[in-house]
Amino acid sequence: MVTSHHEAAHRIFQDRPELLAPVFRILGVPLPEKAAVEVLSADVTEIRPLERRVDSVLRVEPPDGSGGFILAVEAQGRRDPAKAVSWAYYLSYLMAKYTCPALLLVVCQDEATADWAAGPFRLGPEGWTALSVHPLVLGPGNVPVITDPDRASRHLALATFSAMTHSTDEEAPAILEALARALEKAEPETIAYYSELLEIGLGNTPARDIWRNLMPRTYFPGRGTLIEQTWMEGEAAGRLGERAEMVLRVLENRGIDVSPEIRERVMSCTYFDTLGYWVDRAFTVSTAEEIFTSGS
């Protein structure tokens, strides 16, 4: 089943293609200088009613138009014997469709899965290899642990990917701390993107709770970021709702009938002072309508 955690592991390559340069250096695969990266359709279904879909597909094209290739990115959470055939199909299909070489990059977040995903996967009858698949693999064993805030600031995408990959390692808190400090200097939109992506990408791990605690401490209060603004708006709405509910609860506990119109007026009020006044009036009025009038 596709999960948000799974999606984050490969979507970062679509959203932040600058991650490819450091990743390819890690893998020891040459990447053309100043290559343009285009996100392609991940659908590799043929006319036959059999759906096949790669997680992410990118076209990497150098400035001079030569030496380009297709990169299929798969997020893999566990060993799956059926994947060898699927991956072979993906590569063959993409090479035929785009008439250029294709590579497969498998992203793993545990060492055992990464070791398995490296293959090679040899397909064919016993004693003869008709087809061999050699994926490129990223996992805890080769993705760097980034705990220096300055380095994280220079390579936000790689630092975020490092945090996701090492989310269950003992280094996770230090990685998250460095990334949180690096984001202090980023633009609001950048902070919002990486904050949300990482919370999803960390999945159901203790690292996600660490990240949630880091973000309020790092960005609240007074920084004026998009995250802070959203958080403050949510807090304000919650407090308004609680005070409006108090007005209605006092009236109802006193046995005073509250019409739908009055309930709507109370719940839609956006002024704390007004709601506070209505709370005080609710303890003394004889009818619900009287909370809106001045007392003696």
CA distances from 232 to 187, 216, 229, 269 (A): 18, 11, 5, 18
Looking at the structure, do residues 114 and 179 belong to the same domain, yes or no?
A: no
The encoded tokens of residue 170 equal 């003992």
Looking at the structure, do residues 109 and 35 belong to the same domain, yes or no?
A: yes
Which residue has 């498998």 as its token pair? 106
Q: Specify the number of domains making up the chain.
A: 3
Looking at the structure, do residues 31 and 134 belong to the same domain, yes or no?
A: yes
Looking at the structure, do residues 129 and 52 belong to the same domain, yes or no?
A: yes
Global model pTM greater than 0.75: no
Looking at the structure, do residues 9 and 130 belong to the same domain, yes or no?
A: yes
Within 99-184, residue ranges assigned H as helices are 111-117, 149-154, 156-165, 172-183
Looking at the structure, do residues 183 and 76 belong to the same domain, yes or no?
A: no
Q: Please choose, from the candidates 160, 193, 195, the residue with its C-alpha nearest in 3D space to the C-alpha of residue 178.
A: 160
pLDDT at 165: 93
* Dist CA 58 CA 94 (whole Å): 11
Of 138, 165, 199, the residue that ends a domain is 138
Which residues make Cβ contacts (< 8 Å) with residue 28, sequence separation at least 6? none
Looking at the structure, do residues 235 and 215 belong to the same domain, yes or no?
A: no
Q: Which residues of 173-201 are buried (b: 16+ CB within 10 A; e: fewer)?
A: eebbbbbbbbbeebeeeebbbbbebbbbb
Q: Would you say 107 and 10 are in contact if contact means Cβ atoms under 8 Å apart? A: yes
Element containing residue 121 per DSSP (H, E) = strand 121-123
pLDDT at 150: 93
Looking at the structure, do residues 245 and 200 belong to the same domain, yes or no?
A: no
Looking at the structure, do residues 134 and 153 belong to the same domain, yes or no?
A: no
Low-confidence ranges of the chain (pLDDT < 50): 1-2, 46-50, 217, 219-226, 296
- Positive or negative, the CA dihedral 165, 168, 170, 175 is positive
pLDDT at 3: 53
Q: Is residue 9 part of a domain?
A: yes
Which amino acid is located at 6 in the chain? H
Report CA dihedral (146, 151, 156, 162) to the nearest 10 degrees.
-10
Looking at the structure, do residues 114 and 8 belong to the same domain, yes or no?
A: yes
Q: Is residue 100 part of a domain?
A: yes
Of 112, 138, 164, the residue that ends a domain is 138
pLDDT at 2: 45
Element containing residue 249 per DSSP (H, E) = helix 226-253
Q: Is residue 143 part of a domain?
A: no
CA distances from 192 to 104, 184, 219, 224, 270 (A): 30, 12, 11, 12, 27
Looking at the structure, do residues 235 and 211 belong to the same domain, yes or no?
A: no
Query: Domain of 174?
Result: 149-219
Looking at the structure, do residues 15 and 82 belong to the same domain, yes or no?
A: yes
pLDDT at 235: 61
Of 219, 240, 268, the residue that ends a domain is 219
The neighbouring-strand residues paired with 60 are: 37, 69
